[in-house]
Amino acid sequence: MRRVLILGGTAEARALAAELSGRVHVVSSLAGRVRDPRLPVGEVHVGGFGGAEGLAAWLSAGRIDAVVDATHPFAARMTASAVEACRTTGTPLLVLRRPGWAHRPGWRQAGSLEEAARLLPSVGSRVFLTTGRRSMPVFAGLTDLWFLARSVDPPEPPIPVNFLILLARGPYTVEGERELIRAHGLDVLVTKDSGGALTVAKLDAFEEAGLPVVVVRRPPLPEGLVAVESVAAAAAWVHAV
């Protein structure tokens, strides 16, 4: 049975593992950054590989026939390591990325978290920050603003005094996001262009309220990669390789 490594941690990665189960031997890799992750079916590897060199050695030792990078659209470092490791070992590589969100009125585009932080003082003062716990230090210097920062796991201390941490995991509802806007007097949203339906409710709620949204654009994929946007297309590629 062919062996396929899915670099995962996303809903698409879990769905692909389920789709391929029983037809190929699937190993799903999770970075281990989430305390209580949703596990896919099949074999699971938790933790890093030691960069591109470590991943290449792991692919060879595990006799992996193909790799699907179904990591988060902003996991640029993991994607770069996968490209280098697969090139070294001659392993076929596919990128599975859900489509980004369509641009909406009231959006401000930012090319990075740092650019988003520079934009904020001119956009709002009570910020709904949904860019992940590891991004919070980028915004910590904006002491004149107040932040409601949502993440799955708690951020590393110290927590700035102008941050309120909300621990939650999607999917979210428009009604729930409306209540957060009302309860905390939020006047701007900062988010990454993650795409997908699990977290789109915040965009709907802020658009409905006529409030601005700062969206951090995705990092570009390395040139020459084969990429698809659906689980069905990824499964078809695996069977065709």
DSSP secondary structure, 63-121, as one string: T--EEEE---TT-HHHHHHHHHHHHHHT--EEEE-PPPPPP-TTEEEESSHHHHHHHGG
Instruction: Using the predicted structure, report yes or no on whether residue 113 has a pLDDT greater than 90.
Output: yes
Whole-number mean pLDDT of the chain? 95
Find the distance separating the first CA and the last CA of the chain, reported in whole Å: 13
**What is the topology classification, in CATH, of domain 3-99+219-240?**
Rossmann fold (3.40.50)
Query: pLDDT at residue 94 above 90?
Result: yes
CA nearest 231: which of 2, 4, 11?
11
Neighbouring C-beta atoms of residue 134, cutoff 10 Å: 13
Output the pLDDT for position 237: 98
Give CA–CA dist 9/31, Å, rounded.
7
Amino acid of residue 234 = A
| Residue positions counted in the chain | 241
Res 34 pLDDT > 90: no
The pLDDT score that the predictor gives to residue 47 is 86
pTM above 0.85, yes or no: yes
The mean pLDDT value for 196-219 works out to: 96
| Band of pLDDT at residue 48, cut at 50, 70 and 90 | confident
For residue 96, pLDDT over 80 is answered with: yes
Tokens 């392993």 belong to which residue?
91
Statement: residue 7 has pLDDT above 90: yes
Q: What is the pLDDT of residue 36?
A: 75
Domain with CATH 3.40.50.720 in the chain: 3-99+219-240, 107-216
Segment 216-237 shows an average pLDDT of: 95
Tokens matching residue 233: 């297309």
Which pLDDT tens digit goes with each residue over 159-192?
999 999 999 998 999 999 999 999 999 999 999 9
Q: What is the CATH number of domain 107-216?
A: 3.40.50.720
Residue 171 in 3-state DSSP? coil
